[in-house]
Amino acid sequence: MEPVNGKRIGFVPGQFVFLHALDAQGKSFEKRPYSITSSPSPDIPYLEFCIKMLKGSFTGKLERMETGSTLGVEGPFGHFTYTGQKRSAFIAGGTGLAPFMSMLRHIAERRLGEEFILFYSAKTQADVAYGEELARLQKQNTAIRVIITLTQEKPAQWEGEYGRICEETIAKYVKDAGSFDWWICGPMAMVKGMKECLVGLKADPKRIRAEGWG
């Protein structure tokens, strides 16, 4: 989305905005919150979102919109943000990847260190969003690692993990969970389960941030 008036909205990686459906008079009649996936760099004039079209009341309207349509934007909001932590781990389920794309783009562009790891769970290989870009981000900043796991299929040529993210999955790649800051985003049941896993791995509860839905 590009601003109608050319005025860019500033935000911190991980924040969200409310998108508003507008009537013929430009008044809002429905809104939904969506995390921003684009980089917060002032050189990026647009806002990008990762939205799964579920044929719902709001996503149905989005799916029918054509290029040049106008939406209202309110925000940014939220404290589920990356603010420069040097050892950070992110756990995403499905479109819970959205805020982490903004964070990882920011980290890659600024070549921040020292260690960043994303655990990303998708149902099938076709459901993996931003797969090619995630591979590029790892090359752009070698402090970034991306671990993708599939929960509902096992493709013959798949090089990632299989099954739900669990303590074993995390421990395979993170040897000292207590030395990391953690972010979790996904369905609420997943968020709750991941918190329990991290506490079991001796992560500091005060350094775990979570955002969920459902």
CATH of the domain at 106: 3.40.50.80
* pLDDT of 6 above 90: no
Instruction: Please identify, among 77, 100, 126, the residue that sits at the C-terminal boundary of a domain.
Output: 77
Q: By the 8 A CB rule, do 127 and 148 touch?
A: no
Whether residues 73 and 96 share a domain: the answer is no
Q: By the 8 A CB rule, do 8 and 65 touch?
A: no
* pLDDT of 34 above 90: yes
The two counts, helices (H) then strands (E), for the chain are 5, 9
Q: Alpha-carbon distance 47 to 38, whole Å?
A: 6
**Residue-wise pLDDT tens digits, 134-175:** 999 999 999 999 999 999 999 998 999 999 999 999 999 999
Q: Strands (DSSP E) along the chain, which ranges?
A: 16-22, 28-35, 72-77, 87-93, 115-122, 144-150, 161-162, 181-187, 208-213
Residue 57 within any structural domain of the chain: yes
Residue 4 within any structural domain of the chain: no
Percentage of the chain with pLDDT > 70? Answer: 100
- Token pair of 60, please? 């149905």
Model pLDDT, residue 23: 95
Whether residues 110 and 164 share a domain: the answer is yes
Q: Domain count of the chain?
A: 2
Residue 73 within any structural domain of the chain: yes
Whether residues 194 and 95 share a domain: the answer is yes
Q: Alpha-carbon distance 32 to 17, whole Å?
A: 8
Whether residues 37 and 62 share a domain: the answer is yes
Model pLDDT, residue 55: 87
Instruction: Please identify, among 25, 49, 77, the residue that sits at the C-terminal boundary of a domain.
Output: 77
Question: How are beta strands 161-162 and 181-187 bridged, if at all?
Answer: unpaired
- Token pair of 148, please? 């993708």
Range of the domain at 54: 16-77
Model pLDDT, residue 24: 92
Whether residues 136 and 42 share a domain: the answer is no
Q: Alpha-carbon distance 197 to 165, whole Å?
A: 9
Whether residues 72 and 95 share a domain: the answer is no
Q: Is 86 helix (H, G, I), strand (E, B) or coil?
A: coil
Q: Alpha-carbon distance 104 to 54, whole Å?
A: 26
Whether residues 104 and 182 share a domain: the answer is yes
Angle at 49 between CA 149 and CA 12, to 5 degrees: 95
Model pLDDT, residue 195: 98
Model pLDDT, residue 3: 94
**Residue-wise pLDDT tens digits, 116-129:** 999 999 999 999 99
Q: Kindly state the average pLDDT of the residues 37-61.
A: 94
Nearest to 114 by CA among 145, 147, 148: 145
- Token pair of 208, please? 């775990």
Model pLDDT, residue 214: 83
Question: How are beta strands 72-77 and 87-93 bridged, if at all?
Answer: unpaired
Predicted model pTM: 0.96
Residue 27 within any structural domain of the chain: yes
Per-chain mean pLDDT for the chain: 96
Percentage of the chain with pLDDT > 90? Answer: 96
* pLDDT of 2 above 90: yes
